[in-house]
């Protein structure tokens, strides 16, 4: 009788892989090097992930902000206060030490996708989803859809830029000052756009 697969094995391997990458670039990841580091066979990795591209997808998926405050920040809200409070919560999530490593992997995965476009697309897919969610949130607050799409993309681009600054330079005070300034500009712009629609 065949042994039943252990449902906890794949998540455990993913967590071990993320820990392994704490001081290594994602671009250096191979099944052979990972198998040696985790003391498992390459067959085990192939069995659970299939290919290196799928393993990278899983790493990005588990690190991506799909279930984090960042995604919650992009949901439709009833009031401007709720919307901007959620953006502030998102920045607090970003600052957590364990999330800096996650963001580094996410940023690196995005750069890999720029080169390996046919194999990898998950970061691009998340990027599109964040913009769509940001657009929906702004439309729900009363911003015209065309303007909302531009503002949502600008916000996502800005957030990624500030995250890159934080991951690269590890200067929380400077990054926070930039984030707060960007959010103040964003709020002013959103309030103006809502007023234009009301007119």
Residue 36, in any domain of the structure: yes
Q: What one-character DSSP code corresponds to residue 4?
A: P
Tell me which residue range forms the domain holding 158: 65-198
Please report the sign of the dihedral spanned by the C-alpha atoms of residue 90, residue 91, residue 95, residue 100.
positive
Considering the domain architecture, whether residues 74 and 168 belong to the same structural domain is answered as yes
Considering the domain architecture, whether residues 73 and 142 belong to the same structural domain is answered as yes
Considering the domain architecture, whether residues 102 and 140 belong to the same structural domain is answered as yes
Considering the domain architecture, whether residues 165 and 193 belong to the same structural domain is answered as yes
Q: How many domains does the chain have?
A: 2
Residues 6+ apart with CB under 8 A from 131: 149, 152, 153, 156
Considering the domain architecture, whether residues 174 and 129 belong to the same structural domain is answered as yes
Residue 84, in any domain of the structure: yes
Residue 140, in any domain of the structure: yes
Residue 4, in any domain of the structure: no
Q: How far is CA 83 from CA 17, 73, 75, 78, 196, in A?
A: 35, 7, 8, 8, 19
By the 8 A CB rule, do 64 and 126 touch?
Answer: yes
- Pairwise CA distance, residues 70 & 72, whole Å: 5
- 119 in helix, strand or coil? coil
Q: What is the residue-level pLDDT of the chain in tens, covering all 199 positions? A: 455 667 788 889 998 998 898 888 888 889 999 999 999 999 999 999 998 888 888 887 776 554 444 555 556 678 999 999 989 988 998 888 878 888 888 888 888 888 877 777 778 888 888 899 899 999 999 999 999 999 999 999 999 999 999 999 999 999 999 999 999 999 999 999 999 876 6
Considering the domain architecture, whether residues 78 and 150 belong to the same structural domain is answered as yes
Nearest Cα to Cα of residue 124 among 160, 172, 74: 160
Q: How many residues does the chain have?
A: 199
pTM confidence score: 0.77
Residue 178, in any domain of the structure: yes
Supply φ then ψ for residue 57, to 5 degrees: -60, -45
Please report the sign of the dihedral spanned by the C-alpha atoms of residue 190, residue 162, residue 181, residue 81.
positive
Considering the domain architecture, whether residues 69 and 43 belong to the same structural domain is answered as no
Considering the domain architecture, whether residues 32 and 94 belong to the same structural domain is answered as no
């Amino acid at each position: 009788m065949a042994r039943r697969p252990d449902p906890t094995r794949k998540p455990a391997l993913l967590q071990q892989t993320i820990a392994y990458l704490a001081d290594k670039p994602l671009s250096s990841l191979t099944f052979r090097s990972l198998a040696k580091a985790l003391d498992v066979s390459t067959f085990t990795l192939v069995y659970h992930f299939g290919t290196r591209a799928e393993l990278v997808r899983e790493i990005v998926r588990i690190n991506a902000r799909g279930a984090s405050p960042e995604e919650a920040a992009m949901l439709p809200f009833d009031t401007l206060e709720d919307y901007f409070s959620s953006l502030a919560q998102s920045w607090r999530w970003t600052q957590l030490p364990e999330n800096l490593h996650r963001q580094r992997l996410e940023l690196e995965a995005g750069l890999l996708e720029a080169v390996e476009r046919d194999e990898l697309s998950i970061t691009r897919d998340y990027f599109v989803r964040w913009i769509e969610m940001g657009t929906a949130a702004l439309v729900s607050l009363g911003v015209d859809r065309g303007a909302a799409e531009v503002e949502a993309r600008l916000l996502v681009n800005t957030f990624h830029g500030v995250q890159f600054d934080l991951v690269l330079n590890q200067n929380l005070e400077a990054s926070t000052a930039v984030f707060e300034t960007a959010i103040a500009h964003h709020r002013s712009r959103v309030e103006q756009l809502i007023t234009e629609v009301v007119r």
